[in-house]
Amino acid sequence: MSRIFTQALTRLQLVIIIVIIVIAVVGGAIAALYRPTAPTLTPSPTPTPVITTPMPTTPPTTSPVVERILRVSFANVPYPDPAVGSDEASSNFLANVYDTLVYVTPNLTIIPWVTERWDVSSDGLIWTFYLRKGVKFHVTGREMIADDVYFSLLRLITIGEGYAYLLAPYVDMNKTKVIDQYTIQIVLKKPYGAFLWALLRLYIVDSELVKQHIKRPGPYGEWGDFGREWLMSGEKDAGSGPYMIKEYRRGEAMILQKYKDWWNAKAFAPNAPDTVIMYGFTDPSTIRTLMARRELEITDQWQPLENYEWMINNIKYVELAKLHGGQEFYLMLNSQKPPLDDIHVRKALAYAFDYETAIKQINPYEKRAITVAPSALLGWCAPPENITYDPQKAIEELKKSKYWGQFDKYPIDYWWVAEVPWEERVALLFKSNVEGLGVGLKVNVIKMPWLSVVEALSKVNTSPHIVSIFVQTDYPEVGSMLMNRYHSKTYGTWMQNEWLYNYQPQLDRMIEDAVATLNTQERYAKYCQVMNYIFNLYPSIYLYEHTTLKAYQAYYVDWPAAKGNAPYLILGLDLEYWRINVYPEKRAELLK
């Protein structure tokens, strides 16, 4: 029998058949035996904390036997070092893993956090913070003391990356000192009205733990590498916040777990996630698949509009969170390039643009911007004039310009960022509007890669006439946007293309004075003055106040930010994991 069999088939055929059978059997077995079951129901490692605050809108479940997992996607996996990261994922990670001296409520009020209270000298230069007792670090379990705050501040300023730019120009480390175990005095070089906001980015590290991992020699002199390599490895964190690192899968995900000994544990939402997974991918088809499989709870903000719409229309109980925040989309006009060096031309372009169409036809979720900073920011005031699409007014302004009658000699280059395809539609609309005036103005719409935009904006003579870019605030006050957009410090960066040399140094002085003012109301009044001053120079066309979109599983995730109950104007604070409720039982229902 075997002879007949071997005669019928050659050795090669036999091998092929065996391989096919093995693949089929193994593949079938794998697919059949390990076909992913609906929910991952595993015993919870820790009991769900006692319900205190905040109260969820959905009644808490009675069975605490399943692990509560929250999975969120970002553009990248966070940088785990609090002196390095400042992108969205890192800001979110840091805000959940590290504590800060002060914190912010959903209605944007600064409150004491690991500090019980603070004093400030009458000149606004000396700030004394009195630390709370009993704040414990994740890894060592050691109590946080003033030395840790001093070390964290020194480390951030010395390394100079991440959010250091918010504190480094103001803090005088030579005079800053530890008064006693629980008191630290931070001395400023000059008054800084937004100092408390800046402290939201001073993440306090376990100084002893970090010192143990310092590598010498390193780029920071006696401090070697300041423990940077160790912190960046993500092996452990040095924080004391509500979540701690469970596992860092570099390039793939950051996995966090709830820290049950958090000093403010009573503030955990009753169904706060036990595990949080921060993914670093945004591929639309992957996001869609994971949302449909209920393997992703909250998406990133980088999905194409069609993907969000598909998800909310086709996946049951997926809803769209619209976080109207601190980003504004500008058409930045180069005030040094003819014909835009003439204020009448800049003003005319502002009247020539059809804002309504740009919103309705291109970005329906965006809100119309009407002045130099988004209206959600503190200290904002309405502009002196509400600019609307008015071609007649535009022509009247152009007639006042020194270039009237010779616009054909000065074509306008409009750059849009190649990586953001919808910007082309804005550019083409602008071109159509401006050329439609019929006065000889020509607009060249140019697609430009981001790297080239950044390079070109580093010098005034290589900057285009117009470039369209989103800019984000650092803290929720108008002052932040004024500094980023119109202060001479950001000349040569992608944050401005206006090059308002002609209005300096007055403009710088006005901005600096406003930001330095300690009295809040007085500061806001000054912001208003500066805003109106800039507005009247017509340096930019204000188009969109950005609404960040994120799809989420509304049926089993109770996410305060989606209901407007979170300080999401501050980058990363839309996802305070400790305030989010997750209901795995409801997820299991959906998967049945």
* CB nearer another protein, residue 11 or residue 521: 11
- Strands (E) in 77-198, as ranges, are 102-104, 110-112, 115-120, 126-131, 177-180, 183-187
- Reduced to 3 states (helix: H, G, I; strand: E, B; else coil), residue 133 is coil
Give the separation between CA 167 and CA 156, rounded to whole angstroms: 9
What is d(CA 259, CA 274) in angstroms, rounded to the nearest whole number?
9
Cβ at position 493, least distance to another protein in Å: 4
Q: C-beta of 143: minimal distance to another protein in Å?
A: 30
Q: Of the two residues 433 and 468, which places its CB atom closer to another protein in the complex?
A: 468
Least distance between another protein and beta carbon 511 (Å): 15
Q: What is the smallest separation between the CB atom of 5 and another protein, expressed in angstroms?
A: 14
Please check whether residue 63 is in contact with residue 48, taking contact to mean a CB–CB distance below 8 angstroms.
Answer: no
Nearer to another protein, 81 or 576 (CB): 81
Q: For residue 94, which of 196, 163, 167 has the smallest C-alpha distance?
A: 163
CB-wise, 3 or 11, nearer to another protein?
A: 11
- The span from the CA of 498 to the CA of 506, in Å, is 16
Closest distance of CB 195 from another protein, Å? 17
**How near is the Cβ of 429 to another protein at its closest, in Å?**
27
> Closest Cα partner for 84 from 164, 200, 150?
164
Shortest gap between Cβ of 70 and another protein (angstroms)? 11
Concatenated DSSP letters for 335-403? TTSTTTTSHHHHHHHHHHS-HHHIIIII-TTSEE--SSS-TTSBT----SS-----HHHHHHHHHHSTT
Min dist. Cβ of residue 486 to another protein (A): 14
Closest to another protein by CB, 328 vs 354, is: 328
Closest to 200 (Cα-Cα) out of 12, 489, 476: 476
Q: In this structure, how many other beta carbons lie within 10 angstroms of the beta carbon of residue 214? A: 17
Of 286 and 502, nearer to another protein (C-beta) is 286
Residue closer to another protein by CB (options 363, 484) is 484
- Residue 38 carries which side chain, given as an amino acid letter? A
Residue closer to another protein (CB basis): 252 or 522: 252
Torsion sign, CA atoms 413, 414, 420, 425: negative
Given the complex with another protein, which of 300 and 354 has the nearer CB atom?
A: 300
**CB of 294 or CB of 546, closer to another protein:** 294
Dihedral angle sign, alpha carbons of residues 19, 25, 28, 34: negative
Name residues whose C-beta falls within 8 Å of residue 126's C-beta, 6 or more positions apart in sequence: 120, 185, 186, 187, 188
| SS3 state at 412 | strand
Which residues are paired to 96 by β-bridges?
A: none
Least distance in angstroms from the C-beta of 193 to another protein = 18
Which among 248, 249, 254, 162 has a CA at the least distance from the CA of 205?
162
Task: Give the SS3 label for residue 60.
Answer: coil
- Separation of CA 368 from chain center: 21
The least distance separating another protein from the CB of residue 248, rounded to whole angstroms, comes to 11
CB of 30 to another protein, least distance (A): 6
Taking the CB of residue 87, how many other CB atoms lie within 10 A of it?
Answer: 16
Contacting residues toward another protein, per CB under 8 A = 9-13, 16, 19-20, 23, 27, 30-31, 33-36, 40, 42, 69, 71, 79, 81, 84, 86, 159-161, 164-165, 168-169, 219, 228-229, 232, 247, 249-253, 255, 275, 277, 279-281, 283, 285-286, 288-290, 292-293, 295, 449, 451-452, 454-456, 458, 474, 484, 490, 493-495
In the complex with another protein, the residue whose CB is nearer, 160 or 564, is 160
Q: Please identify, using beta-carbon distances, which residue of 437 and 557 lies nearer to another protein.
A: 557
Query: Do strands 466-472 and 367-368 pair parallel, antiparallel, or not at all (unpaired)?
Result: unpaired
CB of 53 or CB of 286, closer to another protein:
286
Nearer to another protein, 243 or 430 (CB): 243
CA–CA gap between residue 345 and residue 47 (Å, rounded): 66
> At closest approach, how far in Å is the CB of 16 from another protein?
6
Shortest Å, Cβ 494 to another protein: 6
Q: Is the distance from CB of 393 to CB of 351 less than 8 angstroms? A: yes
H or E element: which one contains 456? helix 450-456
Whole-number Å distance between alpha carbons of 207 and 199:
18
Q: How far is the CB of 367 from another protein (least distance, A)?
A: 25
